Amino acid sequence: MDEQTFEYSLDYALQLDAEDSLAKYQAEFYKKKGIIYLDGNSLGLLSKRAEKSLLELLDSWRNFGIDGWTEGEYPWFDLSERLGKMIAPLIGALDDEVIVSGSTTTNLHQLVATFFEPNGRRNKILADELNFPSDIYTLQSQLKLRGFDPGIHLLRVKSRDGRLIEEDDIIAAMTEEVAIILLPSVLYRSGQILDMKRLTNEAHKRGIIIGFDLCHSIGAIKHWLDEWDVDFAVWCNYKYLNSGPGAVGGLYVNKRHFGRLPGLAGWFSSQKDKQFDMEHILTAAEHAGAYQIGTPHILSMAPLIGSLEMFEEAGMDHLRNKSLQITRYMMNLITYELNDMGFTIGNPLDDHRRGGHIYLEHKEAARICKALKANGVIPDFRAPNGIRLAPIALYTTYEEVWNSVQLLKKIMEDEQYKQFENKRGVVA
């Protein structure tokens, strides 16, 4: 699909669906009839395979009791490591550099506690002003625990337009006072992809540790963390990886850092053959498993087994190509159908800078999102005026995208949004 051949008809959408090599995965997901789900960048849909692997792990509890830690098809004791091996290809990492454990925030606390080593003037943390609040809360907490003032020691790169962060501005902020950098791989509002390779290279030139939050990129774009020499990364598994609400997260630590003791040690930080020796001196695992803290949440990890099977089958090349094509298609429709209705496309237009979702801005965004839901389209509102729409490569059709834009057009033409309060819900 290119600009010259693009058509705005429903027939063209159906043609694109007929040509979609990933169309077979539609039947894998529980999609509610009459609902167009465009919020998979917040919470992915349940697949039949994820449901199956969850039930299999429940069965292992039923059948083995405590012996489930070592028995069955998926023994619990090393499940975090096994899932890490399945995720490693998605982020361009070695098997033992990845572990499925904790949550985004707890893993971030762990890795900042591990890698933030203030020394003399080099005692500041660099982030950006558009990052997700939880990441900023973590950095502020870690500074306070070290006796530093977050108002002084947490530096945040400013956005020039309120949507994007320029890499040049980040690099300019990499001063000799910065000890560690944390950035999102993809900005959660605008969907901008940061140039992780360039930023890592520039940080390392200056002797600065750098890590990334992959929550809005893993499963949506390709990564080469080892090739880029990224120091660490964290992510959740419930967005594009479809592993369920509150699913266990993941972390990556570059093999160069193996042997560094975890800043927040716990029982599962232990080398596995030593763990049950019950010694009061930690013998840390010699891989990413060292940065686990507590006992893995087996039933919250279970759906990821089935979900990752599909990612392995489909391949990130195909998934990324479909994502780029369907988001481009949606932007073309929006530009054509909603041109004079007050919408601004706030995500990057260039493929190499755009993640997996569309970001629209409108002064009535909260009301419009409520009207969309009333019409069977599930969007995502982001204060103060953002509408996120995520056509997901594995389960969104071009016909659904076409229909959603037509419904949005009708909502605006009929002023249906005026029936609703321009205020977000409790969960936006």
Domain contains 46:
no
The whole-number pLDDT of residue 426 equals 62
Distance from C-alpha of 346 to C-alpha of 360, rounded to nearest angstrom: 6
Q: Are 61 and 149 members of one domain?
A: yes
The DSSP string of 73-109 is SS-GGGHHHHHHHHHHHHHT--GGGEEE-S-HHHHHH
Distance from C-alpha of 20 to C-alpha of 189, rounded to nearest angstrom: 28
Domain contains 40:
no
Q: Are 223 and 94 members of one domain?
A: yes
Position 414, amino acid: D
DSSP summary character for residue 166: -
Q: Are 285 and 164 members of one domain?
A: yes
**Domain final position from 290, 312, 334:** 312
Q: Are 130 and 246 members of one domain?
A: yes
Domain contains 306:
yes
Q: Are 170 and 299 members of one domain?
A: yes
Domain contains 427:
no
Domain contains 221:
yes
Domain contains 38:
no
**Domain final position from 312, 345, 370:** 312
Backbone angles phi, psi at 117, to 5 degrees: -125, 80
Distance from C-alpha of 276 to C-alpha of 118, rounded to nearest angstrom: 34
Distance from C-alpha of 143 to C-alpha of 137, rounded to nearest angstrom: 10
Distance from C-alpha of 56 to C-alpha of 250, rounded to nearest angstrom: 22
Distance from C-alpha of 415 to C-alpha of 253, rounded to nearest angstrom: 51
Backbone angles phi, psi at 328, to 5 degrees: -60, -45
Q: How far is CA 233 from CA 106, 168, 209, 260, in A?
A: 12, 22, 11, 16
Q: Are 177 and 128 members of one domain?
A: yes
Position 258, amino acid: F
Does residue 230 sit in helix, strand or coil? Answer: coil
What distance, in Å, lies between the first and last C-alpha atoms of the chain? 33
252 beta partners: 98, 233
What residues are designated binding site for pyridoxal 5'-phosphate? 104-105, 132-135, 213, 216, 238, 267, 295
Distance from C-alpha of 422 to C-alpha of 147, rounded to nearest angstrom: 42
**Domain final position from 275, 294, 312:** 312
Distance from C-alpha of 107 to C-alpha of 249, rounded to nearest angstrom: 8
Distance from C-alpha of 376 to C-alpha of 84, rounded to nearest angstrom: 36
CATH number, domain of 89, equals 3.40.640.10
The whole-number pLDDT of residue 421 equals 86
Does residue 364 sit in helix, strand or coil? Answer: coil
Distance from C-alpha of 229 to C-alpha of 204, rounded to nearest angstrom: 9
Position 204, amino acid: H
Q: Are 179 and 288 members of one domain?
A: yes
CATH number, domain of 379, equals 3.90.1150.10
Q: Are 25 and 157 members of one domain?
A: no
Distance from C-alpha of 144 to C-alpha of 375, rounded to nearest angstrom: 47
Q: Are 77 and 217 members of one domain?
A: yes
The structural domain count of the chain equals: 2
Q: Are 116 and 175 members of one domain?
A: yes
Position 224, amino acid: W
Q: At what angle do helices 365-374 and 398-413 cross, to 10 degrees?
A: 120
Position 200, amino acid: T
User: Which residues 6+ apart lie within 8 Å of 356 measured at CB?
Assistant: 41, 186, 191, 216, 217, 220, 221, 240, 323, 327, 390, 392, 393
The whole-number pLDDT of residue 424 equals 74
The whole-number pLDDT of residue 422 equals 81
Q: Are 88 and 133 members of one domain?
A: yes
Backbone angles phi, psi at 223, to 5 degrees: -130, 155
- Which residue stretches of 101-216 are H helix? 104-115, 133-145, 150-153, 167-172, 196-205
Residues in the chain with pLDDT < 50?
none
Name the E strands within 154-194. 154-157, 178-184
Question: CB count, 10 Å around CB of 426?
Answer: 4
Q: Which of 101, 127, 258, 145 is nearest to 194 (CA)?
A: 127
Domain contains 197:
yes
What residues are designated binding site? 104-105, 132-135, 213, 216, 238, 267, 295
Residue 399 tokens, joined: 């016909």
pTM assigned to the model: 0.96
Does residue 1 sit in helix, strand or coil? Answer: coil
Q: How far is CA 416 from CA 282, 370, 375, in A?
A: 61, 10, 10
Domain contains 1:
no
Give the structural domain span for 24.
Answer: 10-30+316-419
Q: Are 191 and 323 members of one domain?
A: no
Q: Are 387 and 316 in contact (CB under 8 A)?
A: no
Q: Which of 76, 85, 83 is nearest to 299 (CA)?
A: 76
